[in-house]
Amino acid sequence: MSLDREWDSIRPDRSFRAAGVGLLRVTLLFGSAAVALALIAVPVLDNQTRSSSCDALAGGLDPMSTGSIGSRATYTLRRSVLQPSPSSVCIIRADGQRSGDC
């Protein structure tokens, strides 16, 4: 008796296992191809959307402007749960003058 026949007598479902391994290989092949495509496609698409959104702004600059108040006056804002309204604010200036809901 040859070794192949002896093995087939012990494990006759050898062809089913080979098909399972083949299915696993095909799954791994397509899975790795999907991951590689995602790693390449995402940065390319991201660059395209960034360039189109920057073109909408004038010259690539943000039109938002900020500024500051030149006054050097100091003051304190006080809020208390004891005041009649929860949104009441008391403003105390450096010279002791009070305004608001004090």
d(CA 71, CA 68): 9
Sheet holding 90-93, edge to edge: 75-78, 90-93, 98-100
Most confident of 26-35, 37-46, 53-62, 76-85: 26-35
* Residue 5 structure tokens: 């026949």
Residue-wise pLDDT for 52-67, tens only, equals 555 555 566 666 677 6
66 token code pair: 């900020």
